[in-house]
Amino acid sequence: MGKGWVRLLGTAALVLAGTVAARAEVETVRLAKQFGISYLPLTLMEEEQFLEKQARQRGLAVKTEWLRFTGGSGMNEALLSGNLDFAAGGVGPMLTIWGRTRGNLMVKGVAALNAMPLWLVTVNPDVKSIKDFTGKDKIALPTVKSSIQAITLQMAAEQAFGKGEQGKLDPLTVSMGHPDAQTAMLSGRSEITAHFGSPPFQELELKDPRARKVLDSYDVLGGPHTFNLVWASSRFVNANPKIVAAFVAALEDSLALIRTDPARAATLWIKAENAKLSQEEAEEIIRSPQNEWTTAPKRMLAYLEYMNRAGLVTAKASDPSELFFAVPGATAGKDK
């Protein structure tokens, strides 16, 4: 082989290496969301292709694959197995996987999605507070023991029944997706007599004259707290910095749309989710002052401190920045 061929092959190798380097970040981004209007920022991101647009601005051509889960445990399993890039759910599942992966994958938060109150609603006329639940009641929530609803219920039980009694109501809980839980409780033909849900299911349930709210998570936490957030593994974040930056920028695009045009946001969400809410009902939830659309976390350390105390998570943190990646454009360092 002549020197000319050697030089030609060398040049080709350099070009190929440059091409590979340019395409080092993934071409398909796999994202997850669950049911409810609390995932509105992600629904808008999908419908308006905000992530694809932000990626193009960074020189990347990506496709998105949106997956649906009914709870955080399945999502965490998908993340750990490498079948999911961005998980989205409540604080409980995120802190659980954060604590369990400190020595390997190092899963952390990317950004919060909102701060929203969660209501425990019942159709049992004898239940006026959580102290009135008996063995005849079943409380539906996304995932027993680890969902944000389950953790909040344990915190409320500790407050109501005393130290060491945080698990008193756990035997009554049943894992169930919000749509199925709402249907089961309101049917009157199920063992489910209560549902610890989220918007818009809790608002719809209270339209039934039999239903009443017996617990508000804002009361348990002492004020507004993060409900949903997005998390990922360090392996993915380190290998795909442009995509992660594009995701955060796309999330801000979604939040900007919610703030500036809540009517359009409601219309897009209703159509995408085939929701049973009217335009007016959806807008009311989106505009509600108690529902904050923000990437900044709130009271996450309060959840972590309880989970530490209850032995659910052993890893500790003294600052919210320890729970999140340092992503440009995100406001994850503040925990009001």
pLDDT digits (tens, 9 = 90+) for 77-91: 999 999 999 999 999
Domains 28-115+226-323 and 119-221 share a fold: yes
User: Does an H or E element contain 92, and which?
Assistant: helix 91-100
Q: How far apart are CA 289 and CA 293, in angstroms?
A: 10
Q: Does residue 22 have a pLDDT over 50?
A: no
Q: At the top level of CATH, which class does the domain 119-221 belong to? A: alpha beta
Confidence of residue 318 (pLDDT cuts 50, 70, 90): very high
DSSP H helical segments within 195-293, as ranges? 201-205, 217-221, 234-239, 241-260, 262-273, 279-287
DSSP result, 1-57: --HHHHHHHHHHHHHHHHHHHHT-S-SEEEEEE-SSGGGHHHHHHHHHTHHHHHHHH
Hey, CA dihedral for 218, 32, 257, 281, is it positive or negative?
negative
Q: Do β-strands 108-112 and 228-232 pair in parallel, antiparallel, or remain unpaired?
A: antiparallel
Judged by DSSP in three states, 91 sits in: helix
Domain ranges of the chain: 28-115+226-323, 119-221
CA dihedral 28, 33, 37, 38 (to 10 degrees): -110
Closest CA to 103 of 250, 315, 306: 315
The confidence band for 276, taking pLDDT boundaries of 50, 70 and 90, is confident
In the predicted model, what is the mean pLDDT of the chain? 90
Q: What percent of the chain is modeled with pLDDT above 70?
A: 90
What residues pair up with 109 in beta bridges, in sequence order? 231, 324
Question: Could you give the CA distance from residue 305 to residue 312 in angstroms, rounded to a whole number?
Answer: 10
Q: In this structure, what are the phi and psi dihedrals at residue 138, rounded to the nearest 5 degrees? A: -130, 130
Whether the CB-CB separation of 291 and 116 falls below 8 Å is answered with yes
- Mean pLDDT for 146-168 is 94
Q: So what's the pLDDT on residue 129?
A: 96
User: Structure tokens of 206?
Assistant: 């209270």
pLDDT of residue 125 exceeding 60: yes
**Rounded to whole angstroms, what are the CA distances from 169 to 158, 193, 279, 320, 325?**
10, 13, 37, 29, 35
How far out from the chain centre does Cα 220 lie?
Answer: 19
199-210: average pLDDT: 94
| Stretch (H or E) spanning 65 | strand 63-68
Classified by CATH at the fold level, domain 28-115+226-323 comes out as D-Maltodextrin-Binding Protein; domain 2 (3.40.190)
Can you give the pLDDT at residue 328?
66
CA distance readout (Å), 85 to 14, 88, 230, 237: 30, 10, 10, 9
Stated length of the chain: 336
Is the preceding omega at residue 224 within 30 degrees of 0, hence cis? no
According to DSSP, the residues that pair with 121 across neighbouring strands are: 195, 213
Phi, psi of 65 (to 5 degrees): -125, 115
